[in-house]
Amino acid sequence: MDKFLIKGGYPLAGVVTISNAKNAALPILAAALLTEGKTVIKKCPRLEDVTAMSGLLRVLGAKVKRSGSDLVVQAAGPLSGFAPYDIVRKMRASFCVLGPLVARLRSAKVSLPGGCVIGPRPVDLHLKGLQALGVRITIDGGYVLADASRLRGGTIYLGGPFGSTVLGTANVMMAATLARGTTVIENAASEPEVVNLVECLTRMGARIRGAGSSRLEIRGVERLKGCTIELIPDRIEAGTFMVAAAITHGDVVIKGLRLDHLHAVVDKLREVGVGITPVGRNACRVTADGRFRPVDVATLPYPGFPTDLQAQLMALLTLAEGVSVITEKIYPDRFMHVAELARMGANIRKEGPHAIISGLPKLSGAPVMASDLRASAALVLAGLAAEGETEIRRVYHIDRGYEHIEKKLARLGAQIRRLPDDQPIPQS
């Protein structure tokens, strides 16, 4: 296990290029199970979660190989319909193989994912959606046993207490592509990653209308074929680098992003006082000086402010001049970073799904522990701004979803090093 050592207080400057989206890659990898043909995923990011999903696809019988920056998947068969607990528990996105497996094999046994550090993450909507397509579901010994001998289209409202579901929409939509008849998903997720999946499925020959809206209509087809798909840029990585530039009072050009996927983020950061200027079509310049302004923000499904940037925004707001409120409306318990930010001097009070952040002029470096992917990113950001040294343990969390983050930050002038966790910190 590695750790990061960060010496804070260096303004970032230069140009950084955003990688493609993890959360687009994972369901698209699962979609490759729907066809015997070859799926070529262009510029697939090198991330631990992509490696884990590739491992699961191999266990299921698919061939997965790197070809330069692309990932090539072929599930020519024979395939297994068994996704074991040991793999699924490590990464919830692996539950997304259920829809493709029932569509392709008409039966599957997929482990329930189990606990998650960011709070309860049920899969009831995934199962409800599949049942509406005629799939018989039994839960036994921690596994979902799915029998889809009569897979047919249906109409389903896919909303829970916290709104739409991204991977639930993906799972049900993938199964519906090979069902007999038409499926309508009401309250479908409209995240750009879902739209990217629709693009992939359409290239495979699926007939889907309504991508990007809350109503998806899928007309089932007999079979799907291989395709080549470009992934969208990672909007969460882009937002993280926007905060990195801002929190260090830097001047950074972020390339390769889609600003049209980041309206809520840009709007909120501007309210905080961050300068964001588009540069051409796929880049922007981010600058900041002086103290930040406090804001109220609630996380919401797309196009609202993403929960996956809540922790990073909180790191920035710890340095605002005044009191900010963050309300977490997707994962009300996703506040593992609060206690760690407090170790760096931040003043944050948590009340139910709200965090009340009283901004301070500075943070101070400290040894802290990464608990999940986005919480780790928030600690890196806080470390970049803090006085002194911050040591972040368990950075494997960050490797799940950020491609070479320390190298990208170091190229912008950050003083950040990766060390093995057992190595003593060098005296400087």
Helices (H), 220-362: 235-247, 263-272, 310-317, 336-343
CA geometry: angle 97, 99, 102, nearest 5 deg:
100
Rounded to whole angstroms, the Cα distance separating 217 from 210 reads 6
Q: Does 122 bind ligand EPU (CB under 6 A)?
A: yes
Q: Does 85 bind ligand EPU (CB under 6 A)?
A: no
Contact with ligand EPU (CB under 6 A): which of 99, 168, 239, 353? 168
Helices (H), 178-262: 192-203, 235-247
Q: Does 48 bind ligand EPU (CB under 6 A)?
A: no
Of 74-82, 116-124, 175-183, 284-292, the window that binds ligand EPU (rule: CB under 6 A) is 116-124
Q: Does 373 bind ligand EPU (CB under 6 A)?
A: yes
Rounded to whole angstroms, the Cα distance separating 73 from 58 reads 9
Of 162-170, 269-277, 279-287, 415-423, the window that binds ligand EPU (rule: CB under 6 A) is 162-170
Provide the minimum distance between the beta carbon of 42 and ligand EPU in the complex, in angstroms, as a whole number: 19
Rounded to whole angstroms, the Cα distance separating 100 from 81 reads 10
Of 117-125, 280-288, 289-297, 310-318, the window that binds ligand EPU (rule: CB under 6 A) is 117-125
**Annotation says 116 is catalytic:** yes
Provide the minimum distance between the beta carbon of 287 and ligand EPU in the complex, in angstroms, as a whole number: 27
Query: Active-site residue among 116, 200, 227, 284?
Result: 116
Give the residue from 263, 261, 295, 291 showing the smallest Cα distance to 276.
263
Classified as helix, coil or strand, 78 is coil
Q: Does 123 bind ligand EPU (CB under 6 A)?
A: yes
Contact with ligand EPU (CB under 6 A): which of 125, 179, 283, 286? 125
Classified as helix, coil or strand, 187 is coil
Give the residue from 209, 268, 261 showing the smallest Cα distance to 235.
261
* Binding mask of the shown chain, residues 331 to 350, with x at each position contacting ligand EPU by CB under 6 A: x-------------------
In which residue are the tokens 């950084």 written? Answer: 16
Please say whether the dihedral angle defined by the alpha carbons of residues 405, 414, 316 and 422, taken in this order, is positive or negative.
positive
Contact with ligand EPU (CB under 6 A): which of 93, 98, 130, 336? 93
Contact with ligand EPU (CB under 6 A): which of 3, 268, 337, 374? 374
Provide the minimum distance between the beta carbon of 130 and ligand EPU in the complex, in angstroms, as a whole number: 11
Burial bucket for residue 402 (CB in 10 Å: 0-12, 13-18, 19+): buried
Provide the minimum distance between the beta carbon of 156 and ligand EPU in the complex, in angstroms, as a whole number: 12
Contact with ligand EPU (CB under 6 A): which of 38, 89, 92, 209? 92
CA geometry: angle 160, 144, 328, nearest 5 deg:
30
28 alpha carbon, distance to own chain's centre: 13
Nearer of residues 126 and 408 to ligand EPU, judged by Cβ = 126
Provide the minimum distance between the beta carbon of 272 and ligand EPU in the complex, in angstroms, as a whole number: 21
Residue 305 DSSP label: B
Rounded to whole angstroms, the Cα distance separating 109 from 92 reads 15
Residues in Cβ contact with 307 at an 8 Å cutoff, skipping those fewer than 6 apart: 299, 328, 329, 330, 331, 334
Provide the minimum distance between the beta carbon of 107 and ligand EPU in the complex, in angstroms, as a whole number: 21
Residues in region 211-240 near ligand EPU by CB under 6 A: none
Nearer of residues 99 and 359 to ligand EPU, judged by Cβ = 99
Question: Applying CB under 6 A, what is the total number of residues that bind ligand EPU?
Answer: 24
Please say whether the dihedral angle defined by the alpha carbons of residues 354, 358, 360 and 364, taken in this order, is positive or negative.
negative
Q: Does 396 bind ligand EPU (CB under 6 A)?
A: no
Of 33-41, 141-149, 159-167, 344-352, the window that binds ligand EPU (rule: CB under 6 A) is 159-167
Q: Does 89 bind ligand EPU (CB under 6 A)?
A: no
Contact with ligand EPU (CB under 6 A): which of 14, 77, 160, 352? 160
Backbone torsions φ then ψ of 359, nearest 5 degrees: -65, 150
Rounded to whole angstroms, the Cα distance separating 412 from 402 reads 16
Chain residues that interact with ligand EPU, rule: CB under 6 A: 23, 26, 92-93, 121-126, 160, 162, 165-168, 193, 307-308, 330-331, 373-374, 401
Could you list the active site residues?
Answer: 116
